[in-house]
Amino acid sequence: MALVWLHHFNRMTSHLSPLSLLATLFLLTALIQGGSAQCPWEDEPETELQSTCICSYNTANELSIQCNDLTNYPLFKATLNKYVSKVPLDLLYINNSAIRSINENTFNGVLIKNLQLSHCRINSITPNAFRHLDFTLKHLNLQENELEQIPAEAFRHLKNLTLIDLSKNKIGKIPDDAFSTLNNLVTLKLSDNNLTLYKNSFRGLELSLKNLNLKNTKLKSVPECIKGLKSLTFLDLAQNLLTQLPGNNMGIFKNLNSLTALNLERNILQELNENAFLGVEDTLSSLSLLNNLLTEFPTKAISTLRELRVSEFFLFYFFLQVLFFHANLIDSCTVKFVCTSRLNLTSLSL
C-alpha cells in the first residue's frame, strides 16, 4: 500500500507550485495519520479514478478529494453525484486536467467548502457557475489557468468566500466593483497577471480584506484602489515596476490603518521621499526593500516609522522589527541610523 501511495504522490506533485505542493503534503499527512484513506467509490470496478484520485478524511470526518491528470471529468462528476451529493466536501482539488470551462452544471449537486482547480486550462466561467455553492464555498483557488478577465458575476453570490486565488492567469483588467459583494473576503491573490487597476477595483472590501498579493503584476505605481482598505494588514507589491512612492501630504498608504507588513522588493525604486510611509507610521512592523536601485539609505522615510527607535536624537519611539535593504546600490548609511546602541531591530539586512 505504501508503494501505491508513493506512486500517487510522485505523479500528483510533478507539476505543482510550492504552495500547492505544501497543500498536497498536508493532505498526504492526513492520509498517513488517520481516518480512512479510501475513496467512496473504492469498491467500484477499476476506473480512471482509481489511479488519478486520492481521498482523506479530517478529524470532523469530512472528505477531501485530490485528483491529478483527470481526463474524464464527466465520469468524475457522475461518481461524485452518486456517492457524495448530500455531504459537503472539505476539499476538492483538481490539478493538471483539461476542464477549460466552468458552467452551472460543473458542480451541480455537490457541496464544496474549499475548491482548487490548478493547471486546468480554464478560460471561461459562466455567471451561474458557482450558484450551487453559494453558502458552502469558503476558499476558491483558480491559479495557473487561462482566465483573461475576472468572473465577477460568478463570484457575486459567494457570500461566505474568504479567499480567492487568481494568480498566474492572463487577467488584464480588474473593473470597478469586481469583488464588491464579497463582504467576508480576507485574502485576495492576483499575482503574476498583467494588471490594470481602477479607482474602485476593490470597492466593497474595505472592512474585510487583510491580505492582498499584487506581486509581479506589472504595476508602474502604487494603485489608488488600495486607499480605502482599512483592514489590510499585508500588502505585497514585489516584482513590479515602481520607481517611486508618492510623497505628497495625501500619502498613498494614508488610510491603511491596519497595515503591518509591506513587501516592495524587486522594484526599481531609486529613492524614498520622507513622506513615503505617511499613514502607517504607527503600524508598520515588517518592510522589505531588497533588490531595488536605492543609492542612499532612506533615513528620513524610515525615521517616520514610530515602530523603530533610531537614536537619542529623535523624540519618537521606533519599533520596526524586520528591515531588508540588501541588493540595492547603497554605499553609505548615516551614523545616526546604524551606529546606535538604541536600535531596536530584530532583523537588518543590507
3-state secondary structure 117-179: EECCCCCEECCCCCHHHCCCCCEEECCCCCCCCCCHHHHCCCCCCCEEECCCCCCCEECCCCC
To the nearest whole percent, how much of the chain has pLDDT over 70? 75
| pLDDT value of position 310 | 29
Q: Residue 201 half-sphere exposure, CB side, CA atoms within 13 Å?
A: 20
pLDDT tens sequence across 302-325: 888 886 432 222 223 334 445 555
Query: Where does the pLDDT of residue 350 fall: very low under 50, low under 70, confident under 90, or very high at 90 and above?
Result: low
- Lowest average pLDDT, out of 30-44, 168-182, 240-254, goes to 30-44
For residue 199, pLDDT over 60 is answered with yes
Q: Is the pLDDT of residue 9 over 70?
A: no
pLDDT score, position 266: 96
As a whole number of angstroms, the distance between CA 55 and CA 38 comes to 6
Q: Please tell me the pTM assigned to this model.
A: 0.83
The b-or-e profile of 17-46 (16+ CB within 10 A means b, else e) is eeebeebbeebbebbeeebebebbbeeeee
pLDDT attached to residue 189? 99
- Model pLDDT, residue 41: 87
Q: Tell me the per-residue pLDDT of 42-100, one tens digit each, with 9 for 90 and over.
A: 877 767 788 899 999 999 989 999 999 999 899 899 999 988 887 789 999 999 998 99
Q: How far apart are CA 179 and CA 201, in angstroms?
A: 8
Least confident piece of the model among 60-69, 105-114, 238-247, 337-346: 337-346
